[in-house]
Structure 1
Amino acid sequence: MLKLRKLTSLSRTFRYSSQLSQKNPIESTGNQTKSSQQNASEFSRISKAHTTKLGDSFGIQGWIQNIRRMKMNLFLDVNDGSTAEKFQVVVPRNDQTKSLSPGCSVSISGVIQTAPNGHNELHANEVNVIGDSSLQDGYPFVPKQQHPPEYVREYLHFRSRVDYIAAQMRVRHRAAKAIHDFMDEQGLIQIHTPILTTNDCEGAGETFVVKPDNEKLLKEMSRDGIPLDESYFDQKVFLSVSGQLHLEAATYGLGGTYTFSPAFRAENCKSPLHLSEFYMLEAELAFLSTVEELTKFIETMVKAVSQDIMDKSSQDIHHCQKKASADVDLSWLNRSWTTLSYDEAFTIISDNKSKFKTALKANEGFSKEQELFLVNHLKSPLFVVDWPADQKPFYMRQSKKDSSKVHALDLLMPSVGELCGGSLREDNYELLKEKAPPGLQWYVDLRKYGAIPTGGFGLGFERFLQLLTGVKNIRDVIPYPRYPHSCKM
């Protein structure tokens, strides 16, 4: 049996060292200590342990999630955030190891062996306790106990330690990388669009105003004729609701561009599909003349990115779906999607209006309930195109066949409803000059000097994650959710 002894005690840090050989693995020389402990670069992520050969040396660093104390050994469940699978470490039970407890951080080295269940496990020959932990002293999450999402959200600083939240964050990472890879392959150039902006792109009045929280500074910078609250920038400035207009400016010199950035909407809405701060993927495609070209690009992108995530993060996807008790149907990955005009979709909703709790309003688009009905009715993701102009922003291209319509699209998907909104952009200088709000002459001028046809879209990143994982509340697919009455940390 391995005998582990306590080596040092410093700032609640302890180390246990094996005595497998006749030589003492720790030798002190002057003020320097030589140890058999591995360097940080020699430790591996637990996700790699399952493909490591039996008998190979292996080192990990992570947190003890649970301990099972048997007569001869301790069986530790250790996690380092790299996988949803439990990883078992076998440690001898003796007087030195009894201080190991759930929650403490450890570095462990040993040899890979096979557990009775056929999975790889680590037989430790050295354990170093990096940080002690007492879960009984105010820690909000009890080991092996399931806590409701509403409770977990009260402790955002500890939330990454909850298994399904950690799985969501790994899926989120993989999804972001898949998006960047796809856009790069398509030749689009990433633009870091500004978060501080002077325009409300959507024109819906849902912006947050930005100003210094220092009245003395504002007074020092004030100028005649400019309100005090606007003295820092000499005009009113907002948090961005969209990077689209900036993308268009970049596209006129670079060709196709995209941005993957936070957006901010001041809505008094607490639905499980809305946030005050969220991430959007926005793209602008140059020399794009038809809505069909735009819908084809979006469909190809969503399918390719989704398949990449499913191929590389299937374990985490399934873990999230299981925790959410969600039966997620991804059969849309392997079939063509449907396109309807707004008028055709409106007729379907109107013919079935008795089935809805929400009233059908001709000038307000479709409710979430109606969007989901259309998807289920047609048994397919759905592009709704050619929208009434009075329901859409000023920059969308007017239809030459019907001036009351614009070449806009919404992509409706199962479980989340609207995932994408997009359009062709108005490239007629005279028309745009009449429709553009004050302060956007620079945007109009883009059409004055070498105008090109463009089109683009915005995709809600968190809704996309909900689509794949089945997680019902959007607050659980973003690390630090912000919504009305809640902005913690």
Structure 2
Amino acid sequence: MHTRLSKLNSLQRLCLHRRYSTGKQSIYDIFNQTRKNGRFSVSTEGWIKSFRKQKKFTFFHLNDGTCVKSLQVVADSQLCDSCLSAGCSVRVEGDLVRSLGPDQAVEVQATNIQLIGECDNKENPLKPKSPYSLDFTRQYLHLRPRTEHHGQLLRLRNTASMAIHKYFQDQGYIFIHTPILSSNDCEGAGETFSIETDVSVSTEVSSGQDEQSDHDGKLFFGHPTYLTVSGQLHLETITGAFRKAYNFGPTFRAENSVGRHHLAEFYMIEAEIAFTENLADILREMESLVKTTCCDVLEKNAEMVDYFWKSSTNPEQSIIAKSLIDRHYVRMTYTEAIKVLERNNDKFVYKLKWGCDLHKEHEKYLVKYCNNIPVFVTDFPTSLKPFYARRNKDEETVAAVDLLVPEVGELIGGSLREERYDVIKSRLDELGMTASYQWYLDLRRYGSVTHGGFGMGFERLLQCFLGISNIKDTIPFPRWPHHCSL
């Protein structure tokens, strides 16, 4: 029966492939066909990356994004449209043969070339094969993916994304889509984007509507709503039924900063683990996630990773990046970290004492102090961490952790969550937040368990591992103050 089903599934897959196949080949497929001997016909489309026209013959390199390598096309110059140039999109038909040139194993001898889309390189702000600074290409987000640098970044971003999903799936986590719209400020920092509508919304009062209803119709949901700063609280509801859960989605911070480490919209990987009582369990999971992801990206895209390491402004980038994979991460408490920093207060703009929050300059210093090995800082003062962090026995600190990495500073933040109803209610009462978090208290009233979790900034991981100076160059469409034009 199993064999019969397997054959049926294979037949179904073959029928689906034939039904939806366009008859044309990707450049990736064409290169894979080179294992066969002899001359055979190909038909493909793509964009011209470089173009050289001679009296009798025209040579150009074609790429369709399915692989890094471009396909050389050789054509009789009479076949080529007069508008043909680098940047154009074309359809090519011809014969794939062994190349006589030293830089490629095969080439296409074209029998037909059809121009699909012209490219006016007199007006084009990002001319193909021309060198541009990253600051310059950032002005043209709609054209930036066509550059070699950003194209490779997007490939690595894809590999890293899939590696993260694979890690969690292999570890038995369930993937959850947490909401983008939220009525809670999870971090409590007040850096939220509020939601309002351009048109009035019906203000009919429904049963059970709360006293904070919006009577002028400006608020779509009838009460203050925000773009999420974190999906953590929603993930905690999931770990009331599942042992492990994670999300991977956009988060938003209305932080008025144009610095090279900040974005208004970025992607977060967040995980929650039920039935864990030890912060060390969370640290091990954080370290394992970073190492596995970086290792996977390096193994699958070694040449591209090396390209970024060599183009980094840090000459030791490859050593720094490999420390994420090869070294055992340092552990120190917040109190220990403060002692190190206090001895060097003369080196900082912001002078520290116990109870102060760490700034970027302090985080980077601690990593350098530990020989550029990632550092876990644990057990922060209660006042520095959100209300949900579990209070330690000393009553002054909480079981929270930040992972600090070279050149970036904080990469991951996490904690054990306060599962004790009386303790967290007292904390919410103290902050005046009890009314808004009754649902969160319910999680502690009905089958509460010890649990913990963490959140990692995806773009910061790429920034650290690849040696990218500005975080705005790690994401396809960066958003920062006064910049959201596309």
What TM-score comes out, normalization by structure 2 length? 0.87
Q: How many angstroms does 1:357 deviate by?
A: 3.7
Q: Which residue does the alignment assign to 2:416?
A: 424
**Given the alignment, which residue of 74, 79, 82 partners 2:66?**
82
Identity %: 37
State the SS of the aligned residue for 1:90: strand
Asked if 2 retains the 8 angstrom alpha-carbon contact of 1:251 and 1:284, the reply is: yes
In structure 2, what residue type is equivalent to 1:154?
A: Q
Q: Which residue does the alignment assign to 2:478?
A: 481
Q: 1:221 to 1:324 in 2, by over 3 A?
A: farther
Q: Which residue does the alignment assign to 1:372?
A: 364
Asked if 1 retains the 8 angstrom alpha-carbon contact of 2:248 and 2:269, the reply is: yes
Q: 1:284 to 1:146 in 2, by over 3 A?
A: same
For residues 101-125 of structure 1, give each alpha carbon's deviation from its aligned partner in whole angstroms, at most 9, with x where no partner exists: 1111112243042353343342223
Q: 1:185 to 1:303 in 2, by over 3 A?
A: same
For residues 178-225 of structure 1, give each alpha carbon's deviation from its aligned partner in whole angstroms, at most 9, with x where no partner exists: 11111000000011000111100000000111122113x356789996
Q: Which residue does the alignment assign to 2:170?
A: 185
Q: 1:96 to 1:345 in 2, by over 3 A?
A: closer
In structure 1, what residue type is equivalent to 2:304?
A: D
Give the Cα separation in 2 of the matches to 1:141 and 1:197: 39
Give the Cα separation in 2 of the matches to 1:51 and 1:391: 59
Q: Which residue does the alignment assign to 2:297?
A: 309
Give the Cα separation in 2 of the matches to 1:451 and 1:49: 56
Does 2:146 correspond to 1:153?
no
Unaligned runs of 5+ in 1: 1-38
Q: Which residue does the alignment assign to 2:379?
A: 386
Asked if 1 retains the 8 angstrom alpha-carbon contact of 2:61 and 2:71, the reply is: yes
Q: Which residue does the alignment assign to 2:267?
A: 279
Q: 1:481 to 1:83 in 2, by over 3 A?
A: same
Q: 1:362 to 1:45 in 2, by over 3 A?
A: farther
Give the Cα separation in 1 of the matches to 2:398 and 2:341: 21
Q: 1:410 to 1:112 in 2, by over 3 A?
A: farther
Give the Cα separation in 2 of the matches to 1:485 and 1:443: 35
Q: 1:326 to 1:84 in 2, by over 3 A?
A: farther
Give the Cα separation in 2 of the matches to 1:72 and 1:85: 26
State the SS of the aligned residue for 2:114: strand
Give the Cα separation in 1 of the matches to 2:370 and 2:175: 35
Q: Which residue does the alignment assign to 2:396?
A: 404
In structure 1, what residue type is equivalent to 2:379?
A: D
Asked if 2 retains the 8 angstrom alpha-carbon contact of 1:381 and 1:413, the reply is: yes
**Given the alignment, which residue of 309, 320, 331 partners 2:322?**
331
Give the Cα separation in 1 of the matches to 2:77 and 2:353: 70
Asked if 2 retains the 8 angstrom alpha-carbon contact of 1:218 and 1:231, the reply is: no
Q: Which residue does the alignment assign to 2:213?
A: 226
Give the Cα separation in 1 of the matches to 2:128 and 2:197: 44
Asked if 1 retains the 8 angstrom alpha-carbon contact of 2:333 and 2:378, the reply is: yes
Q: Which residue does the alignment assign to 2:5?
A: none
Asked if 2 retains the 8 angstrom alpha-carbon contact of 1:221 and 1:231, the reply is: no
Give the Cα separation in 2 of the matches to 1:272 and 1:205: 21
Q: 1:41 to 1:413 in 2, by over 3 A?
A: farther
Q: 1:131 to 1:364 in 2, by over 3 A?
A: farther
For residues 115-142 of structure 1, give each alpha carbon's deviation from its aligned partner in whole angstroms, at most 9, with x where no partner exists: 5334334222334334231323522112
Give the Cα separation in 1 of the matches to 2:427 and 2:56: 79
In structure 1, what residue type is equivalent to 2:383?
A: D
Q: How many angstroms does 1:153 deviate by?
A: 1.6
State the SS of the aligned residue for 1:254: coil
Asked if 1 retains the 8 angstrom alpha-carbon contact of 2:246 and 2:271, the reply is: yes
**Given the alignment, which residue of 425, 433, 446 partners 1:433?**
425
Give the Cα separation in 1 of the matches to 2:30 and 2:275: 45
Q: Which runs of 4+ in 1 moved over 6 A?
A: 220-225
Q: 1:96 to 1:306 in 2, by over 3 A?
A: closer
Unaligned runs of 5+ in 2: 1-20
Q: 1:311 to 1:225 in 2, by over 3 A?
A: closer
Q: 1:361 to 1:169 in 2, by over 3 A?
A: farther
Asked if 2 retains the 8 angstrom alpha-carbon contact of 1:211 and 1:229, the reply is: no
State the SS of the aligned residue for 1:457: strand
Does 2:34 correspond to 1:42?
no
- Residues 348-357 or 294-303, more deviating: 348-357
Q: Which residue does the alignment assign to 1:14?
A: none
